[in-house]
Amino acid sequence: MTTTLGTSNATVDPRLQAVGMQQAGGKSPASPGRAVRSVAGRVALWALLIGFALAFLYPFLWLISASFKPRGEVFDNSLIPKTFSPQNYAEVWDKLPLLNWMGNSILIAVLAAGLVTLSSSVVAFGFAYFKFPGRDLLFGLVLATMMLPGAVTLIPTYLIWNNLGMIGTTVPLWGANLFGSAFYIFLQRQFFLGLPRELFEAARVDGASYWGMFWRIAVPLSVPSFIIVFIFEFQASWNNLQAPLIYLNFGAVENFTVPLGISYAMTAFSPGNGGQGDYQWVMVAALIVTMPMLILFAAGQRYFIEGIATQGRKG
């Protein structure tokens, strides 16, 4: 019996041995066919991702190429300029008040982003911390305002600013952000709900006021959400064309914002309006004003990831 058992142990089927290794936590060696399929799948995935990346990058590459072309070659759809014209970057500052436009846009965007970040966070903290009758209904009404199309509130908002005598100034471009934004209130409320409530209860026991809890506990622990809201609103304000088109005075070109200024330049340089079709300067201006957004996103990218990773986490 002993000899038989020893012989049977020595002649175990390799397939049974592989199953035993997997059950014990080991890994059986991969077959050559499986390895080939894995490599082929990765190559196909990388090829697909690179294809999508190039498709999304093409407009930006086209803009860079057009900014180095002379007047007659801007729209030839070639990514390599036939005639290299780097002087476009020196001439654009004399042809367009680009510095004024960028300064106006930066000022308006900082005010708009800063105000909406502060006001939305205060409202969001109230909805996240306080419990009162009708809180959920009130919060639902706040969210319902996001369903209203902008065209519905456009005329009433214009009449309000007109009665206040603010038409022709930059105040309507950032003043409304004093009252918060439904989307940002929702975003920051979800972040505040992820904070341990015990921290606030302990602060209340120690005599902290509600404002103290907000500034000393909620704000330091919610920096990623503040940065995300600031970047979102800064980008929205920087690219906003409709509001400056409605509220700013067209008699002062130097007071335009970046989107309105570029739109004006496209019209001014059009041959139909007495221009010569000098769109190469418009391309240079468009590329220059795009760089702040790229830098801002690169600087705040890690906060996007951190904010998404901690969104909804309960303490």
Helices (H) and strands (E) in the chain, counts: 16, 0
Q: Give the pLDDT band (50/70/90) at residue 273.
A: low
What is the b/e burial string over 228-251, where b = at least 16 CB atoms within 10 angstroms of the residue's CB? bbbbbbbbebbebeebbeebbeee
Structural domain contains residue 140: yes
Dist CA 115 CA 123 (whole Å)? 12
Structural domain contains residue 42: no
Structural domain contains residue 5: no
Q: Give the pLDDT band (50/70/90) at residue 246.
A: very high
The yes-or-no verdict on residue 241 having pLDDT over 60 is: yes
Q: How far is CA 64 from CA 28, 59, 95, 97, in A?
A: 52, 9, 19, 21
**DSSP strand E in the chain: where?**
none
**Residue-wise pLDDT tens digits, 84-96:** 899 999 999 988 9
Token couple for 35: 């390895």
The length of the chain, given as a count of residues: 315
Query: 289 exposed, middle or buried (CB, 10 Å; 0-12, 13-18, 19+)?
Result: buried
Q: In this structure, what CATH number is given to the domain that contains residue 117?
A: 1.10.3720.10
Domain total for the chain? 1
Enter the pTM of the model: 0.79
**Residue-wise pLDDT tens digits, 111-132:** 999 999 999 999 999 999 988 8
Structural domain contains residue 261: yes
- Of all residues in the chain, what percent carry a pLDDT higher than 90? 43
The yes-or-no verdict on residue 26 having pLDDT over 70 is: no
Tell me the residue range of the domain where 258 lies: 90-309
CA neighbor of 307 nearest in space, from 231, 234, 235, 196: 231
- The more confident residue out of 59 and 302 is 59
CA neighbor of 213 nearest in space, from 273, 128, 119: 128
The yes-or-no verdict on residue 312 having pLDDT over 50 is: no
The yes-or-no verdict on residue 104 having pLDDT over 90 is: yes
**Residue 145, CA atoms < 13 Å, CB-side half-sphere:** 14
Structural domain contains residue 212: yes
Dist CA 292 CA 17 (whole Å)? 61
Structural domain contains residue 13: no
pLDDT at position 306 is 64
Structural domain contains residue 200: yes
Structural domain contains residue 72: no
